[in-house]
C-alpha cells in the first residue's frame, strides 16, 4: 500500500513539466560544466607540458649564448615550477584561473618575480567559471526551490488540502512522501552527475570523493530543509516562491558579496605594493654603496659562502651582483611577512563566516579539496621559494668561482612539479549539518503549529 502511494506520487511528480525541465537543466548545465572544467584543466596540462620542453630548450639556448660568462647565464636562465592540477580541479576550478600555475624566475631577487601573474582576460575572471561546482552551488538550489515551493500551497490552492485532511490522519506522511519523491529525484540527478564526473575526470575512488559526495548531499539537504522551512509556514505559492528566491539571492550573492566587502575593508593589503618597493630599493640602492654594505649581511645570511674569495678590488663582480639581488629579497622580508599575515587573517575571517553560510562553506570546501583555493596557491609559492633557495645555494659556488658552465649540471634541471596537499576539514560538514537540522526542527515546529490552528 505504502509502496504503491510512492509510485503514484512519483508518477504524479514526473507527469508535470517542471520536473523534467528542472532535471534537464541540471543535466545539461552539469555536463556543460564538466566539459568546460575538463577542457580548462586539459589546457593547463598541455601548457605545463610545453613549459617542460621550453625549460630545457631555453636553458640550452642560454648556455649557448652566454656560456662564456657563467654569471650571465644565471642572469638570464629561468627555473620553472608547475602547480599540477589534480583531477578534482576540473570539478571546481576555484582560483586556478586567477592565480598563475607556473612560476618561472631567475636566480635574481625572487620577490620581484614570484607575484607575476599569467596572461588572463579579466572579463572572463569576472564572470566566473562555468564548472560543475557552479551547477551544484547555484543551480541545484534553484531547481530544489522550483520543485518544492508549492508543495503544500498548491494543495490548498486547488482545494485538495481539506479533502486530504478529511481522508487521512497522516497528513504529515503525505507531505513527507511528496518531499521524498523530490529529494530522491534531485539526489538521483546529483549522483548521475557525480558518477559522470568520476568517469570523465578520472577521479580516484578515495576519501576525497567520499567527503565531496557527502558535502554535496548535505548542501542539497540544506536547501531542501530551507525550502521546507519556508513552505511549512503555510503561505501562498507566490509568497513561497518570492521568499525562497529572495533567500537564494541573499545567501548566494548578497551576503557573500557584503562579507567580501567587509573583508577588503578590514584587511587591505597595501603591503603588497610596499613589498615591491622594498625589494626594488633593497637591491638597487646597493649599486651606489660600498660593497661591504652588501656583503656583510650577505655573509651573515650565508656563512657557508664566506669561504669563496670575494673580489673586492673589482668595480663589478657577479659575487657582488648576486649579493645585491639577495639584499632585495632580504629587505622585503618584513613586508612579505606582513602580507602573509594579512592573507592568513583573511583566510581566518572567511572560515569563520563560512560556518554560518552553507553556500560559502561548500564553495570553500570544494575548492580546498580540489586543491584550487588560495591556500593551495600559497603552498605552491612557498614550495617555489624553497626550490629557488636550493637552486641559489646549488649554483652560487660555481658562479662565485667563475667556473665553466659546462661543469655544472644546469642542463639537467627540468621543470619542477608541485602537487598541492589536500587537507580535509570535517568541521565544515558539521556546520552545514547543524544548520540543516535546525531548519528541519523549525519546519516541523511550524508545521505542527500550522496544523493545530487549521
Partner 1 sequence: MQNITLTIARQTYLSAFANRATLIFTLLLGFALCLATYVGWQNFRTQNQQRVHYKKVVRAQWLAKPDKHPHRMAHYGYLAFREKHELSFFDFGIESFAGVSIFLEAHKQNTVNFSEAGFSNGMLRFGEISVAMVLQLLVPLLIVFLGYSSISAERESGTLKIILCQKVNWRKLLWGKSIGIISVCLSIFIPLILLTILLWASLSDWQVSVDSALRLIILILSYCVYFFIVTAVTVLVSAFQHSSKASLTILLACWILFIVIIPRITQSIGAKVYPSPSKIEFADAVAHDIHKQGDSHDPNDKHYASIKDSLLHAYHVDDVKKLPFNYGGYIMAEGEKITATIYNAHQHKLNETFAKQNRITALAGLLDPFLSLKQISMALTASDFETFIDFQRQAEDYRYQLAQQMNKLQIDKISNVTPGEHDKPLSISKSNWAQQPDFNYMFSTVGDVITREALALISLIMWLSCTLLLLQYAPRWIKTI
Within residues 132-171, the interface with partner 1 by CB under 8 A covers: 134, 138-139, 142, 146, 150
Q: Does the footprint of partner 1 cover residue 252 (CB under 8 A)?
A: yes
Nearer to partner 1, 39 or 207 (CB): 39
Question: Closest distance between partner 1 and the C-beta of residue 284, in Å?
Answer: 5
Binding segment for partner 1 (CB under 8 A), chosen from 224-232, 254-262, 326-334, 395-403, is 254-262
Determine which residue in the list 71, 85, 112, 420 makes contact with partner 1, applying CB under 8 A.
Answer: 112
Measured between alpha carbons, how far apart are the two ends of the chain, in Å? 28
Binding segment for partner 1 (CB under 8 A), chosen from 131-139, 297-305, 398-406, 423-431, is 131-139
Q: Does the footprint of partner 1 cover residue 346 (CB under 8 A)?
A: yes
Question: Closest distance between partner 1 and the C-beta of residue 142, in Å?
Answer: 6
Question: Closest distance between partner 1 and the C-beta of residue 88, in Å?
Answer: 15
Q: Does the footprint of partner 1 cover residue 323 (CB under 8 A)?
A: no
Q: Residue 439 in contact with residue 226, Cβ under 8 Å?
A: yes
Pairing of strands 416-418, 79-83: parallel
Q: Does the footprint of partner 1 cover residue 15 (CB under 8 A)?
A: no
Question: Closest distance between partner 1 and the C-beta of residue 440, in Å?
Answer: 25
Q: Does the footprint of partner 1 cover residue 381 (CB under 8 A)?
A: no
Determine which residue in the list 39, 195, 390, 403 makes contact with partner 1, applying CB under 8 A.
Answer: 39
Taking the C-alpha atoms of residue 252 and residue 256, their distance in angstroms, rounded to an integer, is 7
Question: Closest distance between partner 1 and the C-beta of residue 3, in Å?
Answer: 32
Nearer to partner 1, 274 or 446 (CB): 274
Q: Does the footprint of partner 1 cover residue 32 (CB under 8 A)?
A: yes
Nearer to partner 1, 66 or 302 (CB): 66
Nearer to partner 1, 47 or 442 (CB): 47
Q: Does the footprint of partner 1 cover residue 119 (CB under 8 A)?
A: yes
| # chain residues binding partner 1, by CB under 8 A | 93
Q: Does the footprint of partner 1 cover residue 370 (CB under 8 A)?
A: no
Report the 3 state secondary structure along the chain: CHHHHHHHHHHHHHHCHHHHHHHHHHHHHHHHHHHHHHHHHHHHHHHHHHHHHHHHHHHHHHHHHHCCCHHHHHHHCCEEEEECCCHHHHCCCCCCCCCCCEEEECCCCCCCCCCCCCCCCHHHHHHCCCCHHHHHHHHHHHHHHHHHCCCCHHHHHCCHHHHHHHHCCCHHHHHHHHHHHHHHHHHHHHHHHHHHHHHHCCCCCCHHHHHHHHHHHHHHHHHHHHHHHHHCCCCCHHHHHHHHHHHHHHHHHHHHHHHHHHHHHHCCCCHHHHHHHHHHHHHHHHHHCCHHHHHHHHHHHCHHHCCCCCCCCCCCCHHHHHHHHHHHHHCCHHHHHHHHHHHHHHHHHHHHHHHHCHHHHHHHHHHHHCCCCHHHHHHHHHHHHHHHHHHHHHHHHHHHCCCCHHHCCHHHCCCEEECCCCCCCCHHHHHHHHHHHHHHHHHHHHHHHHHHHC
Binding segment for partner 1 (CB under 8 A), chosen from 184-192, 198-206, 362-370, 428-436, is 362-370
Q: Does the footprint of partner 1 cover residue 355 (CB under 8 A)?
A: no
Q: Does the footprint of partner 1 cover residue 360 (CB under 8 A)?
A: yes
Q: Does the footprint of partner 1 cover residue 382 (CB under 8 A)?
A: no
Q: Residues 391 to 450: which contact partner 1 by CB under 8 A?
A: none
Q: Residue 108 in contact with residue 280, Cβ under 8 Å?
A: no
Binding segment for partner 1 (CB under 8 A), chosen from 100-108, 222-230, 420-428, 432-440, is 100-108
Q: Does the footprint of partner 1 cover residue 294 (CB under 8 A)?
A: no
Determine which residue in the list 59, 87, 189, 350 makes contact with partner 1, applying CB under 8 A.
Answer: 350
Nearer to partner 1, 171 or 245 (CB): 245
Determine which residue in the list 12, 125, 393, 434 makes contact with partner 1, applying CB under 8 A.
Answer: 125
Question: Closest distance between partner 1 and the C-beta of residue 297, in Å?
Answer: 21
Q: Residues 200 to 239: which contact partner 1 by CB under 8 A?
A: 237-239
Pairing of strands 79-83, 102-105: antiparallel
Amino acid at each position: 500500500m505504502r509502496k504503491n502511494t510512492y509510485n503514484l506520487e512519483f508518477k504524479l511528480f514526473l507527469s508535470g513539466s517542471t520536473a523534467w525541465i528542472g532535471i534537464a537543466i541540471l543535466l545539461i548545465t552539469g555536463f556543460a560544466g564538466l566539459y568546460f572544467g575538463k577542457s580548462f584543466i586539459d589546457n593547463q596540462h598541455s601548457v605545463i607540458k610545453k613549459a617542460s620542453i621550453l625549460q630545457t630548450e631555453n636553458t640550452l639556448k642560454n648556455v649557448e649564448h652566454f656560456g662564456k660568462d657563467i654569471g650571465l647565464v644565471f642572469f638570464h636562465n629561468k627555473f620553472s615550477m608547475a602547480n599540477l592540477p589534480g583531477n578534482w580541479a576540473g570539478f571546481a576550478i576555484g582560483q586556478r584561473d586567477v592565480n598563475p600555475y607556473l612560476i618561472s624566475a631567475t636566480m635574481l631577487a625572487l620577490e620581484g618575480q614570484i607575484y607575476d601573474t599569467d596572461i588572463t582576460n579579466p572579463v572572463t575572471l569576472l564572470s566566473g567559471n562555468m564548472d560543475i561546482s557552479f551547477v551544484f552551488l547555484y543551480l541545484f538550489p534553484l531547481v530544489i526551490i522550483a520543485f518544492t515551493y508549492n508543495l503544500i500551497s498548491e494543495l490548498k490552492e486547488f482545494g485538495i488540502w481539506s479533502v486530504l485532511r478529511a481522508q487521512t490522519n497522516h497528513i504529515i506522511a503525505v507531505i513527507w512522501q511528496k518531499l521524498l519523491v523530490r529529494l530522491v529525484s534531485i539526489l538521483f540527478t546529483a549522483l548521475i552527475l557525480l558518477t559522470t564526473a568520476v568517469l570523465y575526470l578520472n577521479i580516484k575512488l578515495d576519501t576525497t570523493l567520499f567527503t565531496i559526495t557527502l558535502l554535496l548531499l548535505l548542501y542539497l539537504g540544506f536547501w531542501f530543509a530551507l525550502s521546507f522551512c519556508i513552505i511549512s509556514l503555510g503561505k501562498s505559492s507566490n509568497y513561497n516562491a518570492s521568499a525562497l528566491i529572495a533567500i537564494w539571492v541573499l545567501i548566494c550573492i548578497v551576503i557573500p558579496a557584503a562579507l567580501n566587502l567587509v573583508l577588503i575593508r578590514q584587511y587591505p593589503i597595501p603591503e603588497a605594493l610596499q613589498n615591491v618597493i622594498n625589494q626594488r630599493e633593497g637591491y638597487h640602492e646597493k649599486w651606489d654603496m660600498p660593497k661591504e654594505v652588501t656583503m656583510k649581511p650577505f655573509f651573515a645570511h650565508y656563512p657557508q659562502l664566506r669561504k669563496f674569495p670575494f673580489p673586492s678590488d673589482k668595480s663589478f663582480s657577479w659575487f657582488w651582483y648576486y649579493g645585491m639581488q639577495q639584499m632585495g629579497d632580504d629587505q622585503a622580508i618584513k613586508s612579505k611577512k606582513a602580507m602573509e599575515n594579512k592573507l592568513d587573517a583573511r583566510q581566518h575571517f572567511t572560515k569563520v563566516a563560512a560556518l554560518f553560510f552553507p553556500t560559502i562553506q561548500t564553495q570553500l570546501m570544494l575548492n580546498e579539496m580540489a586543491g584550487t583555493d588560495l591556500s593551495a596557491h600559497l603552498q605552491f609559492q612557498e614550495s617555489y621559494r624553497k626550490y629557488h633557495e636550493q637552486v641559489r645555494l646549488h649554483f652560487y659556488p660555481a658562479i662565485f668561482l667563475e667556473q665553466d658552465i659546462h661543469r655544472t649540471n644546469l642542463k639537467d634541471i627540468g621543470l619542477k612539479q608541485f602537487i598541492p596537499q589536500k587537507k580535509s576539514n570535517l568541521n565544515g560538514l558539521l556546520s552545514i549539518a547543524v544548520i540543516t537540522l535546525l531548519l528541519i526542527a523549525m519546519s516541523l515546529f511550524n508545521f505542527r503549529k500550522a496544523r493545530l490552528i487549521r
